[in-house]
Structure 1
């Protein structure tokens, strides 16, 4: 059994604090028989914040390797909303990481490990080049499916995955040139869902589906009505929500943007207070959420929590 876990995140200066908290959650939950080798694709992190990240995970005897990125490589890639070219860095991981590294787990910075990372790491990819988790919000949306059918060729019998948590067989990626294919698409095509569309297009019908609990995104956390419509999806979503492996704050509502509330961001704040960023002012509201009434979101969370108990 491979007891070395290669964990990769990508961050710039704005997301350094959140990368630190994400890493802390991984170390805090990891089986002590495993060692995590942490890598951060550095899209412009200041020295001061690098030191804070290192101090934050040193509590768990962890360390991190910062890898400088050629930011010009993706400068002409398509971006929209709050996204930057940093979302494409993961596409080049087979070339960025040392050739001796044959496998890695990539996660976004807006995640928290709620269970032992080694369980996810030991997922058998069964020969597939990538392992990921279904984006159930998209796959249960007629409009979303129609768009993906047109843009990437998604078929009715296929699922679509979220790119915020992926296990990559780097050796296979190198042998088959998947990184080059992905980067070419990033530089010459425009996809609504950016890197996520690119990865789904390249690996249509050729990816290992991992249990929903390892990427609990808002549609699951909030138990969207469209997910509750069918018994199959309802059962899977509630099981994932009640037994989270990774909580992923995908979308507009991030853990750090609102005051501490146990049911929404309690664990984030717990780790934040233990981190070297603990002197930063909180919450940290983004422009897109200025004036938003988070009270409505809390009501949705409480209702979803009640349903997850009643319907399990």
Structure 2
């Protein structure tokens, strides 16, 4: 019995990762990945970071949040957004950290030009470096897109009945997209002031009740129907995987990770 108890509560230590001798180090090979960290969700975040670290090819090493590796933590000043948050259908959606991705371009250093944003509640089951190959084609965001949902449900009846507000979607493809897995052109985001654009919609929301779903609708107001999609992007996220037993998880790359993880090719001698 003692042996059984000991085995039951043993923890498995992450294995060491060694680069191949043929690997070279280059800043051009770096992949910047950002995630949000919250003390209430650290267990899930550790799983996300470990799976991201475990899947890249042998020529890659990851500086991550694990204590024996280097990492960078960038503090998110929640006071900037707190006064702009409107009450939603669930209290969890009202937490400032849900809005942190809006400020990534402001938080990350200027040397970061492109970043993969991952929510902290996912597991990576393939090489995350594949996302680096996605060409944005002048778009600011690449993300998994869903066009089969009832898009009108994301906004209130008063929004759709207001001709001025609803005209926002005129001529656009009304598709939902997952913000849990995004590739961001940080330079373009900064240059074209998308943080301020999202904030403007949040201010209007305080005056006119347009939606009830937290930080998602402001993104849809700006980016719905105007993001980059591809077979790589559409294959990285599995919708409803947590509630279906028939999901083929291995056929997808569900990834979600504000500290930075840097994946680089390096040489060991």
TM-score by length of 2: 0.68
Q: In the superposition, relative to structure 1, how do residues 24 and 241 fare at CA in structure 2: closer, same or farther (>3 Å)?
A: closer
The 1:64/1:183 distance shift into structure 2, 3 A limit, reads farther
Match of 1:130 among 138, 141, 147: 141
**Aligned match of 1:140:** 148
Deviations 1:150-204 (A, max 9, x none): 3763768442201111100000011111111112323442533332222221123
The alpha-carbon distance between structure 1 residues 10 and 85, as it changes in their structure 2 partners (threshold 3 A), is: same
Greater Rg over alpha carbons, structure: 2
The structure where helix makes up a greater share of residues is 1
C-alpha contact (below 8 Å) 1:4/1:35 kept by paired residues: no
Please tell me whether the aligned partners of residues 177 and 224 of structure 2 are also in contact (alpha carbons under 8 angstroms): no
Given the two structures, how large is their TM-score scaled by the length of structure 1? Answer: 0.60
**Deviation sequence 1:54-87 (CA, Å, 0-9, x none):** 33xx3xxx43211112111111212431221110
How far the C-alpha of 1:205 sits from its partner, in A, is: 2.9
- Cα 1:242/1:33, change in 2 over 3 Å: closer
Secondary structure of the residue that 2:74 maps to in structure 1? Answer: strand
The residue number in structure 2 matching 1:12 is 38
State the partner residue of 1:175. Answer: 191
Q: How far, CA to CA, are the matches of 1:14 and 1:86 in structure 2?
A: 11
Q: Bigger shift: 104-113 or 191-200?
A: 191-200
- What is the match of residue 229 of structure 2? 209
Q: Counterparts of 2:226 and 2:199 in 1: how far apart (Å)?
A: 18
Aligned match of 1:54 in 66, 81, 94? 66
Cα–Cα, structure 1 residues 187 and 35, in superposed 2: closer, same or farther, change >3 Å?
A: farther
Is 2:99 the partner of 1:88? yes
Q: Quote the residue 1:69 is aligned against.
A: 76
Shift of 1:37: 5.5
Compare 210-219 and 153-162 and name the one that shifted more: 153-162
Contact 1:221 1:241 in 2 (8 A): no
1:125–1:208 contact (8 Å) kept in structure 2: yes
The structural deviation recorded for 1:241 is: 4.7
Is the 1:5–1:35 Cα contact (8 Å) retained in structure 2?
A: no
Cα distance in structure 2, aligned partners of 1:71 and 1:148: 25
Partners of 1:158 and 1:18 in 2: CA distance: 32
Root-mean-square deviation (CA), in Å?
2.8
Partners of 2:79 and 2:191 in 1: how far apart? 25
Tell me the equivalent position of 1:78.
86
Higher deviation after alignment, 29-38 or 64-73:
29-38
CA–CA distance in structure 1, aligned partners of residues 119 and 254 of structure 2: 11
- Structure 2 gaps of 5+ residues are 1-25, 161-165, 257-269
**Higher mean C-alpha deviation, range 98-107 or range 182-191:** 182-191
1:191 corresponds in structure 2 to 211
Deviation at 1:34, TM superposition (A): 3.8
Aligned residue pairs: how many?
A: 210
Which residue of structure 1 lines up, in the alignment, with residue 132 of structure 2?
121
Q: How many angstroms does 1:36 deviate by?
A: 4.3
Query: Does the 8 Å CA contact 1:154/1:204 hold for their aligned counterparts?
Result: no
**CA displacement at 1:213 relative to structure 2:** 2.1
Whether 2:49 is the aligned partner of 1:23: answer yes
SS in 2 for 1:78: coil
